Amino acid sequence: MEYFDIRKMPVSLWRNGAGETREICCFPQATRDFSWRASIASLASNGEFAPFPGVDRSVTLLEGGDITLDGGAEFRHTLKKFQPFSFAGEQLVKAQLNDGQMSMDFNIMTRRDRCQAKVRIADRTFTTIGARGGVVFVLSGAWQLGDKLLTADQGACWYEGRHTLRLLKAQGQLLFSEISWLPGH
């Protein structure tokens, strides 16, 4: 289990200057040929997503106004706060900030021939079931994960095992991504 706080994570600027990324985790660690990875990106201006052939992407808007994702003939989708959206990484996608203000989003990428991600917003206590990995990111409230207390902008990732996340207040939300491996992996 690895814990993180986005306010303390290193930031990598994009080559095109349109944003920045904070990598949460990558499996296997420190490799360009990842099976899955999670990150939080800040988008400062309109631009294109970098292509990732053979990878499925799931993006969830965390902060800022709606973003229009234009996938050409494949799709046109308005990304709204806390509503995960998935698409193929090789798809050319242009992002347009609808109100012009900077946005922040949570990204999960999985190699489609190895694993897949299920991303959702949770607002109650639950136990991960059948996951071989996962990531949680607290949006609001206080959550207990093992012996750690997690609050807004904090989270954890793991590469195997079952874990119980317990909501400690009357209300709270977290972004939860469960990674499952395809047969043979």
Q: By three-state DSSP, how is residue 7 classified?
A: helix
Query: Is 115-181 the same fold as 6-111?
Result: yes
pLDDT surpassing 80 at residue 132 = no
Burial of residue 118 (CB within 10 Å: 0-12, 13-18, 19+) is middle
pLDDT value at position 124? 83
Q: Are strands 126-127 and 55-63 parallel, antiparallel or unpaired?
A: unpaired
Nearest to 85 by CA among 113, 62, 103, 111: 62
Fold of 115-181: Jelly Rolls (2.60.120)
Mean of pLDDT values over 12-33: 83
Q: What is the mean pLDDT of the chain?
A: 90
d(CA 126, CA 131): 13
pLDDT surpassing 90 at residue 144 = yes
pLDDT surpassing 90 at residue 85 = yes
Q: Taking the model in full, what pTM does it have?
A: 0.91
d(CA 42, CA 12): 10
pLDDT value at position 36? 94
How many other C-beta atoms can be found within 10 angstroms of the C-beta atom of residue 43? 22
Residue 129's pLDDT band (boundaries 50, 70, 90)? Answer: low
CATH of domain 6-111: 2.60.120.10
pLDDT surpassing 80 at residue 62 = yes
d(CA 106, CA 129): 22
Residue 131's pLDDT band (boundaries 50, 70, 90)? Answer: low
pLDDT value at position 33? 86
Tokens read off for 8? 């303390």
Domain assignments of the chain as residue spans, ordered by start: 6-111, 115-181
d(CA 56, CA 78): 18
What residue type is 127 in one-letter code? T
What residue type is 38 in one-letter code? A
Mean of pLDDT values over 142-168: 90
